[in-house]
Amino acid sequence: MKFNVKLLITIFCITFIGLCATIYASDIAANLQCSAWAEESIKEAVELGFVPEKLQFNYTDDITRDDFCRLVNETYFFKTGETYASDRNYFKDTGQNYIDALYSRGVVKGVGNNMFAPERPITRQEAAVMLSKLAELCDLEKTDVNIQYTDENDFAAWAKDSIYRISQYKDNNGVSIMTGTGEGNFSPLSNCTKEQAIVTMLRFVFADESSYKQNCSNEICALIKDIDKNTITVDPVEYIASDDTERIAELSKQGVNTYMPNGYLIYDPYEVNIKFALTEDTVYNFIDWEREFADENAEDPNIYNANKEDFFKYIQPYIEKDSKVPFFFKISGNNVISITEKVLTSI
């Protein structure tokens, strides 16, 4: 038998490179404390900014009912830009506003006797019910898909329709928002892990992507939390002017302090940090109160079309002091078109 030495060397090199790539990928996943299949999705979700910091480690751990609600709430805000608050405390064992708000919208339920069991791990069928109701709340479009799970007999009667319904909602890659666990199973009684929850919510963000992009192309009001060479992290808020009496009355009924010493109200019931990209075409508009950047003889301290370096210098005190001064952003997709500070919205 003759051996082709070149062929053997080639096979060895390919095998070695493949082995190194596998080990390298495994190392990355290990450092990220997640499974290899979830790594890229987790990175993207964290980069987008809707994953709470307390969930950004030990991704293979089970996620609690409280943390799942927190993730759902921030994902909903990220996708729609809408915030909801509740003026009631529905459960004896938790006072979290995001849980009460989700309950008031019909997305979550308790476990009986006015209890929520916030620290109990959430099961996959409980998660499916919540996500199905959230999809309806967001008016997502369902697709015609016929999935049959082999462990259907393990489904609770109250969860069966939701489990099959959530598979009819798909992301921009055609993947169901919530999928099975392999071999035709859904595993309804298994606990949902952090990584499963985050990957699922990333698909939810990009389900019915046209509405997502439409929302992101609008102007948003936000507090600036951090900035670097290519990105800016913001906490979107609701800006309420003093003449918006209807909204002020609505918030007052919810127990929100609507006192406006500066002529406006920044309503920020929970922090949701979202990261956007700064491009070469991003426009920076700010008010040069100290005449640090404008001509000292200029009558108008407004600076328009400022360069990025000046804006970085100007904004640092706002970030360091965790300022509540709002800026207005025009967004297209994930890119910032412009950042504007307005006279009537500055302290």
Report strand pairing: 274-287 vs 231-241: antiparallel
* Within-domain flag for 23: no
Q: What is the pLDDT of residues 206-257, one digit of tens each?
A: 887 544 444 444 678 889 999 988 899 888 888 888 888 888 888 888 778 8
Tokens in use for 162? Answer: 């939701």
b or e along 250-274 (b: 16 or more beta carbons within 10 Å of the residue's beta carbon)? ebeeeebeeeeeeebbbbbbbebbb
Could you list the residue range(s) of the whole structural domain that residue 234 is in?
A: 217-345
Q: Both 105 and 228 in a single domain?
A: no
| CA atoms within a 13 Å half-sphere pointing along the CA-CB vector of 2 | 2
Q: Percent of the chain beyond pLDDT 90?
A: 40
Model confidence, pTM: 0.58
* Within-domain flag for 22: no
Q: Both 127 and 257 in a single domain?
A: no
Q: Both 192 and 268 in a single domain?
A: no
Length of the chain equals 347
Give the separation between CA 134 and CA 129, rounded to whole angstroms: 9
* Nearest by Cα to 110 from 130, 128, 133: 130
* Within-domain flag for 155: yes
More confident residue, 184 or 172: 184
* Within-domain flag for 3: no
Q: Both 200 and 232 in a single domain?
A: no
Q: Both 40 and 149 in a single domain?
A: yes
Q: Both 198 and 328 in a single domain?
A: no
| CA 217 distance to own-chain centroid | 16
Is the pLDDT at 268 greater than 90, yes or no? no
The domain total for the chain is 2
Q: Both 186 and 236 in a single domain?
A: no
Which stretch, 14-28, 75-89, 103-117, has highest mean pLDDT?
103-117
Q: Both 96 and 243 in a single domain?
A: no
* Nearest by Cα to 190 from 141, 273, 128: 128
* Within-domain flag for 314: yes
Q: Both 201 and 244 in a single domain?
A: no
Q: Both 292 and 256 in a single domain?
A: yes
Which stretch, 126-130, 141-145, 225-229, has highest mean pLDDT?
126-130
Residue ending a domain, among 165, 193, 211, is: 211
Lowest mean pLDDT segment, chosen from 21-35, 47-61, 125-139 = 21-35
Residue 195: Cβ-neighbour burial (10 angstroms; 0-12, 13-18, 19+): buried
Is the pLDDT at 117 greater than 80, yes or no? yes
Q: Both 60 and 143 in a single domain?
A: yes
* Within-domain flag for 186: yes
Q: Both 168 and 229 in a single domain?
A: no
What pLDDT sits at residue 8? 39
Residue ending a domain, among 192, 211, 230, is: 211
What pLDDT sits at residue 297? 66
* Within-domain flag for 18: no
* Within-domain flag for 144: yes
Give the separation between CA 59 and CA 61, rounded to whole angstroms: 5
What pLDDT sits at residue 299? 67
Residue ending a domain, among 151, 176, 211, is: 211
More confident residue, 192 or 302: 192
Give the separation between CA 234 and CA 236, rounded to whole angstroms: 6
